[in-house]
């Protein structure tokens, strides 16, 4: 009896976490995987097994390649710039003698606001001819009406994505900068390391774990970008801002095509797994362990 | 290759909260002779580490100057002073291997890779860590880490070696070993060493010169023998060797009012086992407590208001009361108010 009890106890203790994982992670994953092989009619409530039909119609469809391309473009142009920008902002604020609190709050404001509401403001700023962007940048760059131009709409979305993300990245880096070990900077000063070498040999390795964390965070939100697009362009013009998440919503909720939405979801899953895999590779691994003393 | 370090009237103040200035160093002047070990000894907060950091160039003095040899270096960048420093917390680069840590100052100085490797390996061999060159600092023991710190300091052939409590984080046995090893190493390379510590044993055993600091100024400096045998103040007397200090008893001849007497515990002789001489200081009192140290015993003897510590042979039979005497030559006299030694 007691052996049965001692065997059960750990399972009972793990049960709450296990149930949450199953209900919110494993089950949806399995459901999406299953749905991808079915044709589900939401009106009649009937469903039929269609094999790989959803895959063979969705993957060659231009929508798929376009959504994939837009997602990757959006990811590349938000992850990189917001990480570099956030780090620069953090380094600048960290170097200030006074007013750190003010600048920290200022850069964090976009993170604290509701992105949908702010996207509305941005849409107004990007408005053709009368918007701030067109009146200021129009004469300088010779381009205008970003949101109606299939070549510029994604760039506009990316600007807003970066604007929103940089504050968060800066706060995370600032927190890490506050805990850097002073003794290494003393060594570096005596060893003759100047500004760049101090950053490259002391600060950057010590920030390694934060960099990995920031990458995972920004990559996660870049791959799942939805609210800015929904509020600013609805995926348009001509699908030029339709990312995978937006396409999933379009397919599944707009066209009631659950099967093909499931295929798109699986594509997003594969992409997320690939990003996670990057974190386990050589340099990222070294970065992650860089801060160990 | 070595040069003396001259510290000339260095003061340092920090502006704290509410515009209050805290004076850390108050006109400190000293010379660390070339090729010798000079120890700066003091309690924490006495300004010894700040002084060392000013010599290194990691802090700037509010006033005063630093000269290395003939060169005035007060406002020279740390890396161009010809000094190297070893830190209490090692200050290693955690993301670099031992070899890269040691070679880093050479790399920054633009030394060619092949020569870097040779010189790095030479420094590592001197400190017996040439077998861990490919490991990361996190994989080393505390003692090995400090050896890496010292090897990195040596790699550049510095004229001046600054050590900021390098042995404080090591365990007792290792500290004793490293003490002897550091002295042997300094003798071999012959550079000038400034060594900061709060440990009087380190100061006594390793130094050519000892500088005792207290509250931002120098209390006394000299050879370890001088400082120990002729302490300039009651503070030095108590800090080094834990001297008994007590107001002179009225019966004591030759000492006026306002005199503090100082006797080292080991200079007390049991009265029953010694011949009285003229000028002896005799203490008669009750034994309150006895600490056995092995071959010796420390007796706490209560005489009037004063508790004296006397170090006697452990074999001495103990009674409730005891009389001990100290020879006149071993009785130090200090001014009770200022604590300064009185000339005999």
- Reported as a single tens digit per residue, the pLDDT across B265-306 is 999 988 888 888 888 888 888 898 888 988 999 999 998 888
Asked if A190 lies within 8 A of B95 by C-beta distance, the reply is no
DSSP codes of every residue in B150-165: HHHHHHT--SEEEEES
Q: What percent of chain B has pLDDT over 70?
A: 96
**Reported CATH class of domain B5-232:** alpha beta
Of A190, A290, A292, the CB nearest to B79: A190
pLDDT band at residue B211 using 50, 70 and 90 as cut-offs: very high
Question: Tokens 């939805």, residue?
Answer: A226
Task: Supply the pLDDT for residue B65.
Answer: 87
Q: How many CA atoms lie within 13 A of B154 on its CB side?
A: 23
- Distance of alpha carbon B83 from alpha carbon B101, whole angstroms: 17
Contacts of B95 in chain A (CB under 8 A): 205-206, 208, 286, 290
Q: Which CATH number fits domain A61-289: 1.10.357.10, 3.90.1300.10, 3.40.50.720, 1.10.3720.10?
A: 1.10.3720.10
Q: Long-range pairs for A139-146 at CB < 8 Å and ≥24 separation?
A: none
Q: Could you tell me which CATH class the domain B242-335 is placed in?
A: mainly beta
Residues in chain B with CB shorter than 8 Å from the CB of A181 are 89
Q: What angle do CA B7, B239, B149 make, to 5 degrees?
A: 55
Q: 0.90 exceeded by the pTM?
A: no
Helices (H), ranges, chain A: 2-21, 27-35, 53-58, 62-94, 100-112, 115-125, 132-141, 153-177, 182-190, 195-198, 204-223, 227-232, 244-249, 258-279, 282-289
- Give the alpha-carbon dihedral of A17, A23, A26, A31, to 10 degrees: 180
Q: Is the pLDDT of residue B252 over 60?
A: no
Residues of B in contact with A290 (CB under 8 A): 94-95
- CA-nearest residue of chain B to A188? B105
Average pLDDT over residues B202-221: 90
Q: What is the DSSP letter of A219?
A: H
Q: Residue ranges per domain, chain A?
A: 61-289
Per-residue pLDDT of chain A (293 residues; tens, 9 = 90+): 578 888 888 889 999 999 999 999 899 889 888 888 888 777 777 778 887 777 887 778 888 888 888 889 999 999 999 999 999 999 999 888 888 888 888 888 888 888 888 888 888 888 877 777 777 777 777 777 777 777 888 888 888 888 888 988 999 999 998 888 888 888 888 888 888 888 888 888 888 888 988 998 898 888 888 888 888 887 778 777 888 888 888 888 887 788 888 888 888 888 888 888 887 777 777 777 765 53
User: Residue B80: its pLDDT value, please?
Assistant: 84
Q: Specify the pLDDT at position A19.
A: 94
CA distance A51 to A54: 8
Assigned token pair, B158: 């510095």
Q: What is the pLDDT of residue B91?
A: 87
Residue B87 and residue A286: Cβ atoms within 8 Å?
Answer: no
Is the CB of residue B224 less than 8 Å from the CB of residue B204? yes
């Amino acid at each position: 009896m007691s052996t049965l009890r001692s065997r059960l106890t750990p399972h009972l203790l793990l049960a709450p976490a296990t149930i949450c994982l199953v209900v919110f992670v494993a089950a949806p994953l399995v459901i999406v995987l299953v749905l991808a092989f079915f044709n589900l009619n939401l009106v009649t409530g009937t469903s039929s097994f269609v094999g790989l039909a959803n895959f063979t119609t969705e993957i060659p469809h231009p929508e798929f390649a376009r959504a994939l391309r837009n997602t990757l473009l959006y990811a590349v142009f938000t992850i990189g710039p917001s990480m570099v920008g956030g780090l620069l902002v953090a380094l600048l604020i960290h170097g200030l003698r006074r007013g750190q609190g003010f600048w920290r709050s200022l850069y964090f404001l976009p993170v604290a606001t509701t992105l949908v509401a702010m996207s509305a403001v941005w849409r107004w700023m990007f408005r053709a001819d009368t918007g701030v962007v067109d009146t200021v940048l129009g004469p300088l760059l010779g381009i205008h009406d970003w949101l109606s131009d299939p070549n510029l709409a994604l760039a506009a979305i990316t600007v807003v994505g970066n604007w929103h993300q940089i504050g968060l990245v800066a706060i995370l880096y600032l927190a890490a900068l506050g805990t850097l070990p002073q003794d290494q900077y003393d060594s570096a000063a005596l060893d003759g390391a100047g500004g760049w070498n101090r950053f490259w040999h002391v600060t950057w390795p010590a920030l390694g774990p934060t960099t990995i964390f920031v990458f995972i965070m920004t990559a996660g939100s870049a791959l799942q970008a939805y609210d800015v697009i929904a509020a600013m362009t609805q995926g348009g013009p001509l699908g030029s801002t339709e990312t995978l998440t937006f396409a999933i919503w379009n397919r599944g909720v707009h066209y009631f095509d659950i099967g093909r939405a499931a295929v798109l979801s699986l594509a997003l899953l594969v992409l997320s797994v690939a990003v996670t895999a990057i974190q386990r590779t050589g340099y990222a691994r070294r970065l992650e362990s860089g801060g160990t003393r | 290759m070595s040069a003396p370090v001259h510290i000339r009237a260095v003061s340092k103040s920090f502006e704290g909260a509410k515009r209050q200035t805290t004076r850390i160093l108050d006109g400190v002047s000293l010379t660390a002779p070339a090729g010798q070990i000079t120890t700066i000894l003091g309690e924490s907060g006495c300004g010894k580490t700040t002084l060392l950091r000013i010599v290194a160039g990691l802090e700037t003095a509010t006033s005063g100057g630093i000269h290395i040899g003939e060169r005035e270096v007060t406002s020279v960048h740390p890396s161009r002073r010809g000094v190297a420093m070893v830190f209490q917390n090692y200050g290693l680069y955690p993301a670099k291997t031992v070899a890269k840590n040691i070679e880093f100052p050479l790399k920054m100085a633009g030394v060619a890779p092949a020569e870097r490797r040779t010189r790095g390996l030479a420094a590592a061999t001197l400190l017996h860590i040439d077998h861990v060159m490919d490991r990361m600092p996190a994989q080393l023991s505390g003692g090995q880490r400090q050896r890496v710190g010292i090897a990195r300091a040596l790699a550049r052939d510095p004229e001046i070696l600054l050590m900021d409590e390098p042995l404080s984080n090591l365990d007792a046995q290792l500290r004793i070993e490293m003490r002897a090893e550091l002295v042997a190493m300094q003798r071999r390379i012959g550079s000038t060493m400034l060594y900061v510590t709060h440990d009087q044993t380190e100061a006594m055993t390793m130094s050519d010169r000892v500088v005792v600091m207290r509250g931002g100024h120098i209390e006394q400096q000299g050879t370890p023998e001088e400082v120990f045998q002729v302490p300039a103040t009651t503070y030095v007397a108590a800090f080094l060797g834990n001297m008994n200090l007590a107001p002179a008893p009225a019966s004591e001849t030759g000492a006026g009012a306002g005199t503090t007497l100082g006797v080292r515990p080991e200079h007390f002789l049991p009265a029953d086992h010694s011949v009285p001489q003229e000028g002896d200081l005799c203490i008669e009192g009750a034994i309150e407590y006895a600490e056995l140290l092995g071959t010796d015993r420390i007796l706490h003897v209560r005489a009037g208001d004063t508790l004296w510590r006397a170090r006697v042979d452990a074999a001495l039979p103990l009674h409730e009361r005891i009389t001990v005497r100290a020879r006149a030559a071993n009785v130090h006299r200090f001014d009770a108010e200022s604590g300064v030694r009185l000339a005999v």
